[in-house]
Amino acid sequence: MSTTSVERHGDVAVFTLCRPAKRNALDDATVGRIGEFFAAPPEWARAVVVTAEGDHFSAGLDLAELTERSVTESLEHSLMWHRNFDLIENGRVPVVSALKGAVIGGGLELAAATHVRVAEPSAFYAFPEGQRGLFVGGGGSVRVPRLVGAHRMADMMLTGRVYDAAEGYGIGLSHYLVEEGEGLKKAIELAARIAQNAPLTNFAVLQALPRIAEAAPAEGYLMESLMAAVASGSDDAKERMRAFLEHRAGKVAR
């Protein structure tokens, strides 16, 4: 039985983890399917939502697969997770995740690879690796400190601290906090809105923005100018600007 599924909602692909009996723990087969999907998402997909069956987003690495690997085998296993999650963060489509229940360990690493995160009140976040004699291996030590700071991640790993949904929203683990049961609906709504953007703008946000943020100011300003020129020079951008100036496009509203 497949551990994932894909459904179409207009221009949005909904990618679902389907291991509810395991709290959607991530075994190698599931991580591989994540990589296969994001390596070649459907041509019609302008945005993707990552969600999960059952009460939990993901309880992390499936410990049933944690055999006594050699150092080399463990290194290769971690690199495999990196390759597959990198296809989410640095892929061609924006990704929104709908979080609920356990978002811990590898599940939090998966969520951190997505671009926009929506949480329900049941969501809780933790890195229990420290208590299990492990260290994160799915990119968490790179992505999560960018969201909350290395000091907060160190606290989570050293003490086993658990953040609830409200606390996670407050420190930046999620962008939106919605009512119970509304996470997937909100995620699809946001993804549909993102899918309406000019493709070149979405590309710039996914590919250029992170590099600009990490660059020295002078290089960042140059990359920004180049990307702004490319985006504004596209036929799509010119038509959208004409529509705005001719009052055929909506204005920003709260």
Where are the domains positioned within the chain? 4-195, 199-245
C-alpha closest to that of 120 among 187, 183, 185, 50:
183
Please list the active-site residues: 109, 129
Q: What is the pLDDT, as a whole number, of residue 11?
A: 98
Q: What is the pLDDT, as a whole number, of residue 180?
A: 97
Q: What is the pLDDT, as a whole number, of residue 240?
A: 72
Look at the chain and count its residues.
254
> Over 70: is that where the pLDDT of 2 sits?
yes
Q: What is the pLDDT, as a whole number, of residue 33?
A: 97
Query: 160: pLDDT confidence band, cut at 50, 70 and 90?
Result: very high
Q: What is the pLDDT, as a whole number, of residue 66?
A: 72
Q: What is the pLDDT, as a whole number, of residue 245?
A: 67
Q: What is the mean pLDDT of residues 176-199?
A: 97
> Over 80: is that where the pLDDT of 238 sits?
no
Task: Choose the weakest-confidence range: 28-37, 159-168, 234-243.
Answer: 234-243
C-alpha closest to that of 232 among 219, 244, 220, 247:
244
**For 95-104, what is each residue's pLDDT tens digit?**
999 999 999 9
| 177 phi/psi in degrees, rounded to 5 | -125, 115
Bridge partners for 124 per DSSP: 102, 164
Q: Which residue has the higher pLDDT, 24 or 253?
A: 24
> Over 70: is that where the pLDDT of 162 sits?
yes
Indicate the DSSP class of residue 58: B
Q: What is the mean pLDDT of residues 2-10?
A: 96
**For 7-53, what is each residue's pLDDT tens digit?**
999 999 999 999 999 999 999 999 999 999 999 999 999 999 999 99
Over the chain, what is the mean pLDDT? 93
SS3 of 219, please?
helix
**For 41-84, what is each residue's pLDDT tens digit?**
999 999 999 999 999 999 999 877 777 788 999 999 999 999 99
Q: What is the pLDDT, as a whole number, of residue 118?
A: 98
| 220 phi/psi in degrees, rounded to 5 | -60, -45
**For 215-231, what is each residue's pLDDT tens digit?**
999 999 999 999 999 98
| CA-to-CA dists, residue 90 to 2, 110, 188, 221, angstroms | 25, 13, 20, 21
> Over 70: is that where the pLDDT of 253 sits?
no
Q: What is the pLDDT, as a whole number, of residue 62?
A: 87
Tokens of residue 165, six digits: 């949904």
CA–CA separation, 238 vs 201, rounded Å?
Answer: 13
Query: Tell me: domain 4-195, CATH 3.90.226.10, correct?
Result: yes
Tokens of residue 156, six digits: 């989570």
For 199-245, which CATH superfamily applies?
A: Lyase 2-enoyl-coa Hydratase, Chain  A, domain 2 (1.10.12.10)
